[in-house]
Every structure is written in structure tokens, then in C-alpha cells.
């Protein structure tokens, strides 16, 4: 009875009822006038008696007209509803984004929505009445028939459409056909991307070197069955994919899990979001191997799943074991090393030390951890040196000798080694090594003292021997001045030459002993360099002449005429060099060069060179000629004599004067000895 609540129907009922009531009153009024009756209640009764059938009809007029008004209102309401529904349908029809067209059985378009017009960029008159095949650009005899008979997709105006066809008609008679063209371009592109993404994911899934397993943790029997796995899972565990799908995850584990354990694990996984652990898997062959398992939760279609990533760590376990063994080996080396070893961080604080360090400095390892090493074992005198070593070890190694302080404040002589420790190109600390050299220092001091004593004794003895030798030489020279027979003169000359050779040897030994004992003193007096060099040439000129050699002096005229130094030692050096040149030269010449190299207001650097045309020195023996008691020809059958001290003494004298002595030799052309 909801229709009675409709306002329109109520209004029409009211109008019909009022019209019937008006008809009833009008009928009575006309009857009163016709019968000339007054307006009184008895007149109504009188009319009712006289016109009974008509009165009954008038009585029913409000009801009849009210019902008729209600029926008319109902019709008006239905028409309004139908009209509104039509407008709404047309609005919906035109607002749909899909292309909708209604055709007659012959394929002519009777109606279409706005989407068709907008897609064609035209107006309704240009579409209505046109054949569907013409609008769609299809072959009327074939393509339209195919579209009508099957659900097809076709490409039209750079878009892909899916066609739906619905016949419209009563009973079996089709009067119209509804065509709906769904634009599926984006959907097909999305599906293609999804297919590509799925193919890519499947490719990555199967080609991954790690084993991927998809597990359902909510299976009814709580067995956590395997839903999917990749090729690496099969290869790692020795199964085919079909053998694993649907099986409990226990097929891979060494022992089955209980429901409580799985529920607890799932709870932990939900709280953490990701879990990683190491476990053992059982291969299909029964071999047990270690794996690293990473698990995480994913949701697929509202379904909670567990994805597990397994990695075979057999090789890594072996590497870890080898690294542990090597670490223990190196730790054992450091621990048992007889030298003190301490490891520092980048702040030069101690992070570890070995027992030898504890024994050397008297500290226990626990009491020095985290303490600056320099503050622990250096004194005020050695702290600056230690800081310099600390800076040096930042970029290189340190090797030095020094003193370091023990816990009892006593000093110990140590050899210091320091090396930076780099890992992956980054400096992570410093390794310091201290070697106790107290005994070596003590032994060296004793050896130096013994050597000095021997050198002093040898120098004194050489001096004592040289005095009577000078007397012997003097007497021999006096004897040669007396009348002698030829035989006597020959004997005395041989004796004089031997005495002079012995005196030369004693002089060399005396000079060498003074140098070794550190008692060599250089004079500083004014002298003429030209006179000093020419004196050397004049002194040895006779020896050169006796061998048929020419001798020359080339002194640069730019040299200062007066210099200050030790002319005696300079003559001794030049005599040694020129004497060697005469000894080893059989023909040719010997030239003494002197030229300035650098000159200031107080100092002058002079280059001396003695050049000869002698036998030369083999290349492999050039560096050895300046060693003590060494000659270029050290064999027992050597032709030339000598002690091998001349060049050694000369080099030490040159060094004492702040210069250097070297040789440039071509064995076929002679020797050029030079000193600066």
C-alpha cells in the first residue's frame, strides 16, 4: 500500500473526492429548486424519498470520483517515473566511456552514446543511420559478420577494443542489436607488462643462485607445504621440482618441526619481519650440508605466505675454518714471539700485546689496555722522538734504536719497528715491535772499547817503531855518502829502499790507528793550494821519470791563492793517489787537476782529479778498492805490492774534510780518481 503514501496520488484522490462532493451538493441544490423546497433538513428527507435512485448515485459520487482520481494519479505517477527513468537511462547511456551503438538487423546505427561521437570527433547526425561497418571501417561482407557471430577484439583508431553484441527484441524476433565496444588498450598493456614482469620474475627466480622456497604456513595439517621453488632449490637438494611441490618443508630439514615450534617461529617472524639463521639440510642422497636460511612474510591475494632463501655455506664454512686456523696461527706466532709486540688503534692506544711485551716492560696486559703507548714507555727526553715516529708510521715504516722506560722506571735499549696496518685500503691501526738489544749494546760498547784500546796500542807502537826507523834511514843515507864499492852501494840502497817502505807502512798504520781510535785531528792554517799541489808533483816526479812517465799539474787560475785548511793531509791524499797512479802505469802520463766547483765568502768546494793511463780497475772491483786491506788484484800471484791501506786512509781523510772520494774507470784506458 505504498502507493497510497504517494503525494501525487493523494492529491488526485482529494480532487476526485471534492469533485464528487461538489456533484452531490449540486444535485441536492437543483432538486430543491425544482421542487420549490426550502433549505431545511426535512427537505433533504423529502428529496431522498422522492428521488431515491438518483440520491444513491449522488451519495457514491465522492467515492467513485475519489477512486477515479487515485487511479489517474497513479497513472500520472507511473508516467513520471517512466519518464524520469528514461532520462536517467539516457544520461547513463551517454555518460558511459564504453562505445555503445544500437543497430537494426541490417546493421544501420539507430542510436549511439556520446562516447562514439567523441571518439569519432563528429556529431550525431553524421553517425545515426550510417552502416556500422562504415563507421568502424570494416569489410561489410566478412568482418561485420565475424564480429556479430563471435566476441572479438579489433584495432580501431589506434585503440584495441573488445566487442560485445546483444540482440534486442520480443520473443524470437530480433528488432535491434546492441553493440558495446570496451576499450581494453590499457588493460592489455597492463596485462602485457604483468606477463613480462612475471616472466622476468620467473626468470630471475629460476636463475638465482640461491634457493627460493615458497611455503604456506596456514595449511590445515600444519605441515608447512612447499607451494613453489626454483631450480637452485632442486639442484642444491637433489630433487625434481615435482617431488618438492606439495611436500612438507621437513623434506629438506634434518628433523621434523612440531606445531608449537612452527607457531613460535611464525610469531617471531611477524614481529621481526625478517629472520636469518644457519641450519642443516638433508640432501636427497642423505648427505647433510650447512645452509644459511633467510625467511620473510609476503601477502599474495590476502594470503600470508613464507618465502625462504637458502644458501649453501659449505664452502664458506671451510673458508671460515681456514681463516680461524690462520688467525690462531698468527696469534700463536705473536703470542710466542720472543720480541715484544703491541698492537695500537688509530688513536695510538693499546688494544693487545704479547707476553714478551709484558716481560720486557713489566706490565700486565689487563692494566695497559686503552692507554696511549707513548705515555706508557717514554720519558720526557724520548717523548718528542716517539711522537715523530708516530707521525712517520702514518705513511710508512719505522726502524730505529732508542731507549724506553719500564714499569720500574728503568731504561732499556730497544730496536724499534713500526708498521701501519691496512685492511681493504683503510688504516685500522699500528703494529709496534720492540727488540731488547741491551746485551748487544753492552757487547758493542765493549768491542768498541777493546778496538779503541788496540788502536791506541798500535798507534803508540807504530810511533815507537818509527823513531828508530828514522835513525836507520838517516844512517843509511849517510853511509851512501861515503866512498863505497859498487857491491856495498847496492846493498845499502836496497836496505834504504826497504827501510823507506817499512816507514811508509808504519805511517799508514799510525794514521789508520788514529782514525779508528777517533784521534784524528785536522789543522786549520793558511796555505797556498798551488804550492801544495806542485810540491806533490815535484816529490813524485823522479819516480815517474824513472818509469818513463810524464807528469803534469793543471790548476785552475780562478782558484784563490790563499786557503785555510790542513795542507799536510791534502798532500798525503794526493801523494797516495799519484803514487798509485805511478805504480799501476807503465807508459803514458799522469795529470793532476784542481778546479773550483762552488765558492762562498767563507768556503770553497774544490774538485781534485788524478788521471793516468794505467791498467785500470775491473768494474766489479771498483767499489772494493776503498775497503781496508783490499786491492784490485787480491790473488796470491799479484804483480803489485802494497798493504791496501792507502786508498782507505785517503777516503777517510776526505770524509773527515767534508768531501767524497770516488773513481771513474775504464779498464782499457786507465783510472781517473777524483775527490771533492
Q: What is the mean pLDDT of residues 375-397?
A: 86
Q: What is the pLDDT of residue 296?
A: 92
Q: Who wins on pLDDT, 305 or 497?
A: 305
In which order are the strands placed within the sheet that holds 274-282? 226-229, 211-215, 303-312, 288-300, 274-282
End-to-end CA gap in the chain: 137
Q: What is the pLDDT of residue 381?
A: 86
Q: What is the pLDDT of residue 463?
A: 65
Taking the C-alpha atoms of residue 165 and residue 65, their distance in angstroms, rounded to an integer, is 50
pTM of the model: 0.42
Q: With bands split at pLDDT 50, 70 and 90, how would you rate the model's confidence at 290?
A: very high
Q: What is the pLDDT of residue 384?
A: 86
pLDDT tens, residue by residue, 169-201? 766 666 788 888 888 888 888 888 887 877 777
Taking the C-alpha atoms of residue 594 and residue 676, their distance in angstroms, rounded to an integer, is 10
Q: What is the pLDDT of residue 667?
A: 46
Q: With bands split at pLDDT 50, 70 and 90, how would you rate the model's confidence at 428?
A: confident
Q: Is the pLDDT of residue 431 over 80?
A: yes
- What is the C-alpha R_g of the chain? 63
Contact 543/582 with Cβ under 8 angstroms? yes
pLDDT tens, residue by residue, 234-258? 988 999 989 988 898 889 888 888 8
Taking the C-alpha atoms of residue 94 and residue 674, their distance in angstroms, rounded to an integer, is 114
Q: At what angle do helices 567-583 and 529-546 cross, to 10 degrees?
A: 20
CA-closest candidate to residue 154, choices 122, 132, 174: 132
Q: How many CB atoms lie within 10 A of CB 412?
A: 19
Q: At what angle do helices 438-480 and 486-517 cross, to 10 degrees?
A: 160
pLDDT tens, residue by residue, 480-501? 888 888 888 888 888 877 887 7
Q: What is the largest CA-CA distance in the chain?
A: 224
Q: With bands split at pLDDT 50, 70 and 90, how would you rate the model's confidence at 636?
A: very low
Q: Is the pLDDT of residue 640 over 60?
A: no
- In the chain, % of residues over pLDDT 70: 83
- In the chain, % of residues over pLDDT 90: 4
What structural domains and CATH numbers belong to the chain? 2-90 (no CATH), 96-183 (3.30.450.20), 191-312 (3.30.450.20), 319-436 (3.30.450.20), 522-675 (3.30.565.10)
In the chain, DSSP finds a helix count (H) and a strand count (E) of: 20, 22
Q: What Å distances lie between residue 243 and 223, 232, 239, 240, 251, CA to CA?
A: 16, 14, 6, 5, 10
3-state secondary structure 594-660: EEEEEECCCCEEEEEEEEECCCCCCHHHCHHHHCCCCCCCCCCCCCCCCCCCHHHHHHHHHHHCCCC
pLDDT tens, residue by residue, 79-122? 777 777 777 777 777 777 888 888 888 888 888 888 888 888 88
pLDDT mean across residues, the chain: 80
Taking the C-alpha atoms of residue 583 and residue 272, their distance in angstroms, rounded to an integer, is 95
Residue written as cell 637458502? Answer: 310
Q: Is the pLDDT of residue 219 over 70?
A: yes
Q: With bands split at pLDDT 50, 70 and 90, how would you rate the model's confidence at 671?
A: very low
The grid cell for 306 is 613464507
Strand ranges for 548-601 from DSSP E: 550-555, 563-565, 589-599
CA-closest candidate to residue 348, choices 383, 309, 390, 310: 390
Q: What is the pLDDT of residue 95?
A: 77
CA-closest candidate to residue 357, choices 401, 416, 402: 416
Q: With bands split at pLDDT 50, 70 and 90, how would you rate the model's confidence at 287?
A: very high
Q: What is the pLDDT of residue 580?
A: 84
Q: What is the pLDDT of residue 583?
A: 85
- Sort residue 629 into left (φ over 0), alpha (ψ -120 to 50) or beta: left
DSSP string over 382-401? THHHHHHHHHHTTTS-EEEE
Amino acid at each position: 500500500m505504498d502507493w497510497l503514501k504517494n503525494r501525487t496520488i493523494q492529491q488526485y484522490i482529494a480532487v476526485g473526492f471534492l469533485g464528487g462532493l461538489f456533484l452531490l451538493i449540486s444535485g441536492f441544490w437543483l432538486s430543491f429548486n425544482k421542487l420549490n423546497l426550502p433549505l431545511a433538513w426535512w427537505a433533504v428527507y423529502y428529496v431522498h424519498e422522492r428521488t431515491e435512485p438518483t440520491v444513491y448515485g449522488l451519495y457514491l459520487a465522492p467515492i467513485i470520483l475519489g477512486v477515479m482520481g487515485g487511479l489517474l494519479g497513479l497513472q500520472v505517477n507511473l508516467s513520471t517515473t517512466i519518464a524520469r527513468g528514461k532520462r536517467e537511462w539516457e544520461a547513463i547511456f551517454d555518460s558511459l566511456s564504453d562505445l555503445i551503438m544500437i543497430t537494426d538487423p541490417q546493421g544501420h546505427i539507430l542510436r549511439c552514446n556520446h562516447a562514439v561521437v567523441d571518439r569519432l570527433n563528429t556529431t550525431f547526425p553524421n553517425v545515426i543511420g550510417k552502416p556500422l561497418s562504415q563507421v568502424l571501417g570494416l569489410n561489410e561482407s566478412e568482418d561485420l559478420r565475424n564480429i556479430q557471430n563471435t566476441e572479438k577484439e579489433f584495432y580501431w583508431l589506434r585503440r584495441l577494443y573488445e566487442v560485445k553484441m546483444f540482440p534486442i527484441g520480443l520473443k524470437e524476433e530480433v528488432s535491434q542489436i546492441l553493440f558495446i565496444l570496451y576499450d581494453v588498450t590499457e588493460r592489455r598493456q597492463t596485462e602485457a607488462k604483468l606477463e613480462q614482469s612475471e616472466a622476468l620474475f620467473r626468470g630471475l627466480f629460476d636463475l638465482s643462485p640461491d634457493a627460493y622456497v615458497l611455503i604456506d604456513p596456514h595449511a590445515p595439517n600444519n605441515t608447512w607445504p612447499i607451494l613453489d621453488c626454483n631450480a637452485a632449490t632442486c639442484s642444491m637438494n637433489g630433487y625434481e621440482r615435482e617431488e618438492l611441490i606439495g611436500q612438507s618443508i621437513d623434506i629438506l630439514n634434518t628433523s621434523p618441526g612440531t606445531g608449537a615450534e612452527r607457531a613460535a617461529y611464525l610469531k617471531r617472524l611477524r614481529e621481526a619481519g625478517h629472520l636469518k639463521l644457519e641450519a642443516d639440510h638433508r640432501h636427497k642422497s642423505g648427505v647433510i650440508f650447512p645452509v644459511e636460511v633467510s625467511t620473510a612474510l609476503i601477502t599474495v591475494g590476502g594470503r600470508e605466505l613464507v618465502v625462504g632463501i637458502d644458501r649453501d655455506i659449505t664452502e664458506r664454512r671451510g673458508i671460515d675454518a681456514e681463516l680461524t686456523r690462520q688467525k690462531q696461527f698468527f696469534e700463536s706466532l705473536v703470542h710466542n714471539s720472543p720480541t715484544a709486540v703491541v698492537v695500537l688503534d688509530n688513536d695510538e692506544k693499546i688494544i693487545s700485546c704479547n707476553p714478551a711485551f709484558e716481560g720486557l716492560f713489566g706490565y700486565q696486559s689487563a692494566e695497559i689496555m686503552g692507554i696511549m703507548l707513548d705515555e706508557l714507555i717514554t720519558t720526557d727526553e724520548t717523548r718528542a722522538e716517539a711522537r715523530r715516529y708516530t707521525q712517520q708510521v702514518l705513511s710508512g715504516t719505522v726502524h730505529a734504536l732508542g731507549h724506553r722506560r719500564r714499569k720500574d722506571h728503568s731504561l732499556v735499549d730497544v730496536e724499534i719497528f713500526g708498521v701501519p696496518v691496512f685492511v681493504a685500503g683503510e688504516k685500522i691501526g699500528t703494529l709496534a715491535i720492540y727488540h731488547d738489544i741491551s746485551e748487544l749494546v753492552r757487547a758493542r760498547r765493549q768491542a768498541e772499547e777493546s778496538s779503541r784500546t788496540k788502536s791506541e796500542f798500535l798507534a803508540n807502537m807504530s810511533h815507537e817503531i818509527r823513531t828508530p826507523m828514522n835513525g836507520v834511514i838517516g844512517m843509511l843515507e849517510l853511509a851512501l855518502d861515503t866512498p863505497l864499492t859498487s857491491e856495498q852501494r847496492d846493498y845499502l840502497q836496497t836496505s834504504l829502499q826497504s827501510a823507506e817502505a817499512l816507514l811508509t807502512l808504519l805511517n799508514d798504520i799510525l794514521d789508520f790507528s788514529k782514525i779508528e781510535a777517533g784521534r784524528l785531528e785536522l789543522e786549520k792554517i793558511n796555505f797556498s793550494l798551488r804550492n801544495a799541489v806542485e810540491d806533490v808533483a815535484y816529490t813524485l816526479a823522479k819516480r815517474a821519470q824513472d818509469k818513463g812517465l810524464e807528469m803534469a799539474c793543471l790548476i785552475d787560475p780562478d782558484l784563490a791563492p790563499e786557503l785555510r785548511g790542513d795542507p799536510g793531509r791534502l798532500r798525503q791524499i794526493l801523494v797516495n793517489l799519484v803514487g798509485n797512479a805511478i805504480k799501476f802505469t807503465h807508459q803514458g802520463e799522469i795529470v793532476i787537476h784542481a778546479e773550483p766547483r762552488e765558492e762562498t765568502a767563507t768556503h770553497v768546494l774544490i774538485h781534485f782529479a788524478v788521471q793516468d793511463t794505467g791498467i785500470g780497475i775491473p768494474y766489479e772491483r771498483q767499489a772494493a778498492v776503498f775497503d781496508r786491506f783490499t786491492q784490485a788484484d787480491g790473488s796470491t800471484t799479484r804483480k803489485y805490492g802494497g798493504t791496501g791501506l792507502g786508498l782507505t786512509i785517503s777516503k777517510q781523510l776526505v770524509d773527515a774534510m767534508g768531501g767524497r772520494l770516488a773513481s771513474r774507470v775504464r779498464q782499457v784506458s786507465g783510472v781517473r780518481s777524483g775527490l771533492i
